[in-house]
Amino acid sequence: MPKLIDAHTHVQFAAYDNDWKEVIDRSLAQNTWLVNVGTQKDTSAKAVEIAEKYSEGVYATVGLHPIHTEKSHHDSQELGNNEEAKGFSSRGEGFDYEYYKGLNQNEKVVAVGECGLDYYRLTEETKEKQAEVFEAQINLAAEIKKPLMIHCRQAYSDLINILNNQKPILGNPSGIIHFFSGTKENAKELLNLGFYFSFGGVVTFVRDYDEVIKSVGLDKIVLETDAPYVTPVPHRGKRNEPAYVKYVAEKLAEILGKDSEEVAAKTTQNACDVLKI
């Protein structure tokens, strides 16, 4: 099996409380490395804790997701179903710079995030709060010299404005735009800002991303599953896991008209370049 890297996944989430070791073993057994992405204090700490158990192949990112800057829809796959978790979702958290800086010092942490903007469900106050927390994480990434793992939903023009304003402090490469869903024009601006783009299971069942994938090109693409969500064909309807990232690689090869070994090798190289693995 060629080596693959699932650059954005969440095996530290509650959805894997009973079997995260088996899920990671299945992935490593087929030569697929993975990056568990934090979304708030607890999921960030757990991502680091898991990564520390492996000598290689399992990494973490640490950061505050834009939806957790205040009250959010409660996702039991992410946080579990206990009262404490529900309480967290009913308030969110303020960005604790020192806490995240501390966790980020760990050598298994390869990026700051997931951070960014999410306007899918929001109030006017949220926009300002999200921008402030995002800017704080851009500063943190600059201070500790790590790339950004960015989440953006229905907010690309504001995201690009913020990043353009912060351009002097962005790293090179600057990070990954996870589950990219913007336009070709957005992609071009983000390429100029030094970003890579990750695509996941959604490419196996909708054709909406084909053109943007071709315009970005293999040089700037990395693979992701975003597990436990968006499970690729042929496992639709089941919980996702990093071992399934191979289906994303195969589909990208088809879309780009390249062979899957080339896609595997290049996306792995790209992930290593941006995340300094």
Residues near Zn ion, by CB under 5 A = 226
**Which of 224, 239, 201, 221 is closest to 35 using CA atoms?**
224
Q: What is the DSSP letter of 14?
A: G
Residue of minimal Cβ distance to Zn ion: 226
Pick 70 or 226: Cβ nearer Zn ion? 226
Residue 248 or residue 253: which is nearer to Zn ion going by CB? 248
Helix 245-256 and helix 260-275: axis angle, to 10°?
A: 110
Interaxial angle between packed helices 124-144 and 97-104, expressed in degrees from 0 to 180 and rounded to the nearest 10: 40
Q: Output the smallest distance, CB 257 to Zn ion, in A.
A: 29
Rounded to the nearest whole angstrom, what is the least distance from the CB of residue 171 to Zn ion in the complex? Answer: 20
Residue 9 phi/psi, 5° resolution? Answer: -145, 175
Complex with Zn ion: residue 202 or 253, whichever CB lies closer: 202
- Cα 189 to the chain's mean position, in Å? 19
Closest approach, Cβ 175 to Zn ion, in A, equals: 14
Q: Which is nearer to Zn ion, 5 or 253 (CB)?
A: 5
Minimum Å distance from CB 178 to Zn ion?
Answer: 6
CB of 155 to Zn ion, least distance (A): 15
Q: Which is nearer to Zn ion, 118 or 226 (CB)?
A: 226
Take residue 86 and report the two structure tokens written for it: 């529900």
CA-to-CA distance for 165 and 49, rounded, in angstroms? 34
R_g of the chain computed on alpha carbons: 17
